[in-house]
Amino acid sequence: MDMSFSSADLAFREEVRTFIEENYPRITNTRSRGDMSRDDMLAWHKILAKKGWVAPHWPAEHGGSGWTITQRYIWNEECARAETTPLLPFGLSMVGPVIYTYGNEEQKKRFLPGIYNGEDWWCQGYSEPGAGSDLASLKTKAVREGDHYIINGQKTWTTLAQFADWMFCLARTDPDAKMQESISFFLIDMKTPGIEVRPIITMDGAHEVNEVYLDNVKVPAENMIGEENKGWTYAKFLLGNERSGIAGVARSKKAIERLRNIAASELMDGEPLIKDGEFGRKIAEVEIDLSALEVTELRTLAAESKGQGPGPESSILKIKGTEIQQRITELALEAVGNYAHVYAPHGKGEGDNAFTPGPEYSIGVAQNYQNMRKTSIYGGSNEIQHNIIAKMVLGL
Ligand SMILES: Cc1cc2nc3c(=O)[nH]c(=O)nc-3n(C[C@H](O)[C@H](O)[C@H](O)COP(=O)(O)OP(=O)(O)OC[C@H]3O[C@@H](n4cnc5c(N)ncnc54)[C@H](O)[C@@H]3O)c2cc1C
């Protein structure tokens, strides 16, 4: 396995680094997605769409950049290094690939440009109360009436549905068939009468997730992807894409750098924490884990570039990646100590947000700690990933 970068790769790194430095809109003064406006979240997306870099993994005919897997890796590293706002995955990485893989020509023409240009915001309507890990037991029903389907049910944990123009949604179309053979995949206009979005406020005080109620929602039959009752195939294809890139190695490196800065701050009471051998050991431990994860990710990439698609390795990357992300937020919380005041979610600011309990470096640390608990739950919980490894790798 050759893991060194070629001179062409190094030149590419320079090119993308310069582009980010010159074009990234520094609109965000907070790291929480729950605090950003729709326009804030789409600003970088739109700049990249104009440049032709917003969907590197898409086929060239739909706007993909044609980058190699190594170039995509370098791109992700450079974005993390510059702390760019992550692009929303729902259109670009989830439903987009489903549409260009399984959609008909009409659907490709109608939906792909809006996803690519950042005009249409998508949300994911998979989970329901009682159907998360066991997704195939979902109860939302779609009944065909002429050239429409009438959809009734409830979705939950629907990320950023408050901004969404469209939702991709799984619904049961044959009550008598086996669970996996009776699900269809619909594209639903969020302005359709009968859709209600209700916020779920999470423990960090953010409005990032929602419940979505569907009450006799009329969806044109042409908005169904592929064949009726074959939706599980498309749903699984999408979940495979959701897990790739979830290791977040480059962003964890940046988070460790921030952690070191906090621990080295002269503003700490007494000696800076970084001088405490025990705390230094904890940081070193997580850095070692991160290096091991990075090598595992590079090994997976090397195999992928030879055409061997990621298999159960993506479950290993998901578990270790999210454990490391959570560990870093735990250490940051430990480092800020009393200043991790939970009742000042937005830190320094205007009006209700004016109060902040500690120095600049403490802002957002507690909220980030709380927010990152989600990473071991979504994208298939870590327990479910352990089950996949047990079955696929260990043959249990
Ligand atoms: C912040 C956040 C954002 C999300 N965004 C979206 C979204 O946009 N769209 C969407 O559709 N969904 C979304 N989800 C939902 C997410 O996919 C589910 O939460 C996840 O699949 C787990 O399902 P559940 O919450 O119903 O928990 P359950 O499936 O009820 O699991 C509860 C616990 O039991 C464990 N468990 C369950 N089954 C097994 C098993 N067989 N073996 C071992 N342990 C098991 C789980 O690991 C978990 O710890 C989001 C979730 C979160 C937290």
CATH number at residue 156: 2.40.110.10
Same domain, 216 and 254: no
Q: How far apart are CA 231 and CA 14, in angstroms?
A: 42
Residues with CB under 6 A from ligand 1: 123-124, 126-127, 132-133, 157-159, 209, 374, 377-378, 381, 383-384, 387
Domain that includes residue 336, residue range: 247-392
CATH number at residue 364: 1.20.140.10
Same domain, 347 and 224: no
164, two tokens: 């969404």
Same domain, 253 and 358: yes
Same domain, 178 and 292: no
> Considering the domain boundaries, does residue 107 fall inside one?
no
Summarised one tens digit per residue, pLDDT across range 22-35 is 999 976 544 455 56
Q: How far apart are CA 78 and CA 98, in angstroms?
A: 27
Cα→Cα distances 287→10, 241, 292, 378, Å: 24, 27, 9, 24
Q: Give the position, in ligand 1's atom list, of the atom nearest the Cα of 135.
A: 21
> Considering the domain boundaries, does residue 277 fall inside one?
yes
* Å from CA of 50 to ligand 1 middle: 36
Same domain, 283 and 382: yes
Three-class SS of residue 176? Answer: coil
Same domain, 294 and 373: yes
Q: Give the position, in ligand 1's atom list, of the atom nearest the Cα of 90.
A: 8
Cα→Cα distances 260→31, 267, 275, 282, 328, Å: 18, 14, 11, 11, 10
Q: Which of 72-76, 100-104, 143-147, 192-196 has the least mean pLDDT?
A: 72-76
> Considering the domain boundaries, does residue 235 fall inside one?
no
Summarised one tens digit per residue, pLDDT across range 232-258 is 999 988 887 666 667 889 999 999 999
Q: Of the candidates 229, 258, 276, which is a domain's last residue?
A: 229
Q: Give the position, in ligand 1's atom list, of the atom nearest the Cα of 131.
A: 26
Query: CA nearest 196: which of 137, 226, 153?
Result: 153
Same domain, 304 and 183: no
Same domain, 278 and 367: yes
Q: Give the position, in ligand 1's atom list, of the atom nearest the Cα of 124.
A: 9
Instruction: Report pLDDT for 31.
Output: 47
Q: Which of 141-145, 224-228, 353-357 has the least mean pLDDT?
A: 353-357
Which residue is associated with the tokens 């419940």?
211
To 10 degrees, the CA torsion angle through 171, 186, 174, 179?
Answer: -50
Q: Looking at the predicted structure, is the pLDDT value of residue 351 above 70?
A: no
* Å from CA of 249 to ligand 1 middle: 23
> Considering the domain boundaries, does residue 332 fall inside one?
yes
**Torsions phi, psi of 200, nearest 5?**
-115, 120
Q: How far apart are CA 116 and CA 253, in angstroms?
A: 29
* Å from CA of 281 to ligand 1 middle: 33
Q: Are 40 and 85 in contact (CB under 8 A)?
A: yes
Over residues 104-128, mean pLDDT: 98
109, two tokens: 């023409």
Count of CA atoms in the C-beta half-sphere (13 A) of 5: 15
Mutate to test the pocket of ligand 1, among 98, 122, 127 (most ligand atoms within 8 A of CB): 127
> Considering the domain boundaries, does residue 97 fall inside one?
no
Question: pTM for this structure?
Answer: 0.92
* Å from CA of 154 to ligand 1 middle: 15
Same domain, 199 and 299: no
Q: Are 308 and 10 in contact (CB under 8 A)?
A: no
Q: Is 290 exposed, middle or buried (0-12, 13-18, 19+ CB in 10 A)?
A: buried
> Considering the domain boundaries, does residue 356 fall inside one?
yes
> Considering the domain boundaries, does residue 112 fall inside one?
no
Q: Please state the domain count of the chain.
A: 3
Same domain, 214 and 263: no
Same domain, 81 and 191: no
Same domain, 282 and 382: yes
Q: What is the mean pLDDT of the chain?
A: 89
Q: Of the candidates 229, 262, 290, which is a domain's last residue?
A: 229
* Å from CA of 132 to ligand 1 middle: 5
> Considering the domain boundaries, does residue 373 fall inside one?
yes
Q: Of the candidates 87, 110, 130, which is a domain's last residue?
A: 87
* Å from CA of 377 to ligand 1 middle: 5
